[in-house]
Structure 1
Amino acid sequence: MNAEYIAENESSLLEELISVRDKFCTTNNVCHPEESQDGLAVMRLCPGMTLEAWEILAKQHGLNDWLTIPLDSNTTPHLFHVQTVLQELSYKTDHDPLTGLSNRRVFERTLDQEIERTRRNKTPVSLAILDLDNFKQINDKWGHLKGDEVLIDFADLLARNSRRYDLVARIGGEEFAIIFAGVGLVKSQQLLERLLGKVRDLNFKVPGSKDKFSVTCSAGVSCFKGMVDIEMHQLIDKADKALYEAKESGKDQVKTADIIDFESVTKETLVHADEKKFLFTGN
């Protein structure tokens, strides 16, 4: 019944629905309920349409922003459908569509929370930024589909080899991040060294050949122990610079940044020493 209904009505129904959406939401830009308390819903009766048929059409043509209302008295399946759509939209908002990892939005939100937790509890947090080495060559040589395969498998490896309470995120094209909650610099470096060894064991088939190729990645790590006030971008910048050092030193390795707390304390100590010197010597 669903297939029959879709075959008979898909073309005309979609033409009408999509034209309405384009007219109101794209041309006139009025489909933003958060901007106004006033408004109304535009409805269209679809005799013979089943919820199952609608789910197929909505998934195929991006119509999940349309709300379905039953003509009979049983609202439960429709409420369940709305709940499912909302869950899917929420997931897509927070996850990278290719790898399924958390996206940069979630990464920054979580890192900000972990920095605040570290500041309150004085428990360390470490940030690792990882970048696949020579990834552009894979895309150029074997195509973007092979590049996507590498990204997916690499992301899966990171997720499988991280702790349940760490956050693994894709924050750029071939750039990933891991937030190690409660872990200091030495331990996070050890975890990453083991991780890089597992990356070296990944193998991928060369398109159109029986040959295989492997990949490597570089990583930079920074750490915060909650002793001073910092901004999130400072911890990210430290990890970025350590990653750059790893790349410049030959790739396929982990480099660590100076712990940001100790660096700040050292600078403060030097300032106090200079002040004391001036008070007693005048120089």
Structure 2
Amino acid sequence: MSAEYVAENEASLLEEMLSVKDRFCTPESSGCEILTEDGLAVLRLCPGMTLEAWEILAERHGLNDWMTVPLRKGDLPHLRHVQAVLDKLSYETEHDPLTGLSNRRAFERLLDQEIERSKRGKTPVSLAILDLDDFKVINDTWGHLKGDEVLIDIADLLSRNSRRYDLVARIGGEEFAIIISGVGLFKAEQMLNRFLDQVREMEFTSPDGREKFNISCSVGLTTYKGLAELEMNNFIEHADKALYEAKEAGKDCIRTTDPVDLQTVTKQTLVHANEKKFLFTGK
């Protein structure tokens, strides 16, 4: 019945709904709170419409942010549908649609939390920012679909090489970040070197199937141990600086900065500078 309803009514119903969407549902209003000071919901009766038929239309035409209201008793399935829509919208606000990784919004929220946790427990947290080398060449040579394939495969490799409680995020076009909780500079660098080895072994095929190509990745890495005050943006800047140095060094490598604490710890300490650095980095 659901499939038949969609087949018979899809064209006319969709034309009407999309005209309403184009007129009233602006990009600025997308994802806003349901209840507002001056908002109005417009109800359109759809006799014969079932929840199953609506789910087909919503998935097919991107109408998942439209809410359904039952016109009969037994509205529990509809409430579940509303919850499913809200869950999907919540997921989409914090995840990258291409790779499924956390997005920059989720990354910054968790990084701020990890900095606070490090301050309280005096435990290390490492931050790595990774950038695919010469990614524009891939898009220009093989097309954006092939570029998307590379990004998806890199995201999958990053996820498989990370621990369950680390956060892997896509924070830019070809830029990724990893928050490595409870790990200092030395062990984090070892982990990332293993990742770069696997990236070098990856092989991609051109869209016509005639050529093979490889990719590489540059990494900037820094660490914080909670021994001094730190703002999130400052932490990111340290990792960005290290990434820039990796690019300047010829790409396909890791560059690190001294732990951010090392630059701010008071000079009254009796520990020699080199000994201090060993305490922070383990090397």
- TM-score w.r.t. structure 1 length? 0.89
Give the distance between the partners of 2:82 and 2:35, measured in 1 at CA: 22
1:191–1:92 distance in 2 versus 1, CA, 3 Å: same
Stretches of structure 1 lacking an aligned partner (at least 5 in a row): 270-283
2:31 and 2:89 in contact (8 A); partners too = no
How many residue pairs end up in the alignment?
270
Partner of 2:114 in structure 1? 114
1:199–1:32 distance in 2 versus 1, CA, 3 Å: closer
* Equivalent residue letter for 2:107: F
1:115–1:75 distance in 2 versus 1, CA, 3 Å: same
Partner of 1:84 in structure 2? 84
Percent identity reads: 66
Give the distance between the partners of 1:239 and 1:28, measured in 2 at CA: 33
Partner of 2:219 in structure 1? 219
Give 1 or 2 for the bigger CA radius of gyration. 1
Give the distance between the partners of 1:121 and 1:81, measured in 2 at CA: 42
* Equivalent residue letter for 2:58: A
For residues 18-97 of structure 1, the aligned pairs below 5 Å read: 18-26=18-26, 36-37=36-37, 39-97=39-97
Q: CA RMSD for the aligned pairs?
A: 2.3
More displaced 10-residue stretch of structure 1: 16-25 or 99-108 = 16-25
2:222 pairs with 1:184? no
SS in 1 for 2:129: strand
The structure in which a higher percent of residues are helix is 1
Give the distance between the partners of 1:157 and 1:88, measured in 2 at CA: 25
2:135 pairs with 1:135? yes
Give the distance between the partners of 2:117 and 2:27, measured in 1 at CA: 45
Stretches of structure 2 lacking an aligned partner (at least 5 in a row): 270-283
Shift of 1:106: 0.4
1:36–1:206 distance in 2 versus 1, CA, 3 Å: closer
Give the distance between the partners of 2:98 and 2:28, measured in 1 at CA: 32
2:211 pairs with 1:208? no
Give the distance between the partners of 2:38 and 2:224, measured in 1 at CA: 48
Partner of 1:197 in structure 2? 197
Alpha-carbon deviations, 1:244-274, whole Å to 9, x = none? 11111111111110111111126677xxxxx
SS in 2 for 1:265: coil
Give the distance between the partners of 1:48 and 1:91, measured in 2 at CA: 31
Shift of 1:165: 0.4
